[in-house]
Amino acid sequence: MAVRKTLYHLKRPVSLVYGTHHDLAFKIRGATNAIRSTLQENSPSKLTVVTHSSGNHAQALSLAARQLGVRAHVVMPITSSPVKKAAVRGYGAIVTECIPTLQAREDAAREVINQEMAQDPQRKVAFVPPYDDGVLCPASIRAVVEILL
């Protein structure tokens, strides 16, 4: 169920709706920015993006990749929500499951990257981290600033 909240303490009233699939709005900006920065040097048909995530980043990256014509591969813990896994697959990404530890996610992502490069040495494979990334964060922060101003 969506929740609507109006913020009156800003320069002008802003209504926010959250609790829907649009929760991805701030994540999709970062994911799109990350893919576009990689596309400056590569053709979409020759690029695969790889990440690990339990859901929100996975969905955002998968959707951004589909919109930009890029192949996406996501490592998700077996404990991730079936709804989120279905959404990631629905956006066209390949999902590889792993046990729910950070080490397992990182190991599985490295294995996916190695497999992708072995299948097609001409293909560029880029890892897009799910957090603490200098390309993802500014785009996400900009989305929040646009809402608040």
Q: Mean of the pLDDT values across residues 56-78?
A: 95
27 is annotated as an active-site residue = yes
5 is annotated as an active-site residue = no
Entry pTM: 0.74
CA 120/CA 3 separation, integer angstroms: 46
Specify which residues 7 forms β-bridges with: 14
Catalytic residue among 5, 15, 43, 54: 54
Q: What is the mean pLDDT of the chain?
A: 80
Q: Show the tokens assigned to 25.
A: 């709005």
pLDDT of 98 > 70? The answer is yes
CA 28/CA 33 separation, integer angstroms: 8
Residues in the chain: 149
Q: Which CATH class is domain 3-148?
A: alpha beta
Give me the pLDDT at residue 13, please. 53
pLDDT of 108 > 90? The answer is yes
Catalytic residue among 27, 53, 62, 85: 27
Give me the pLDDT at residue 30, please. 82
Q: Quickly list H helices, 23-77.
A: 25-39, 56-68
Specify which residues 97 forms β-bridges with: 76
| Per-residue pLDDT reduced to its tens digit, 3-40 | 455 445 555 554 444 444 445 566 788 888 889 988 88
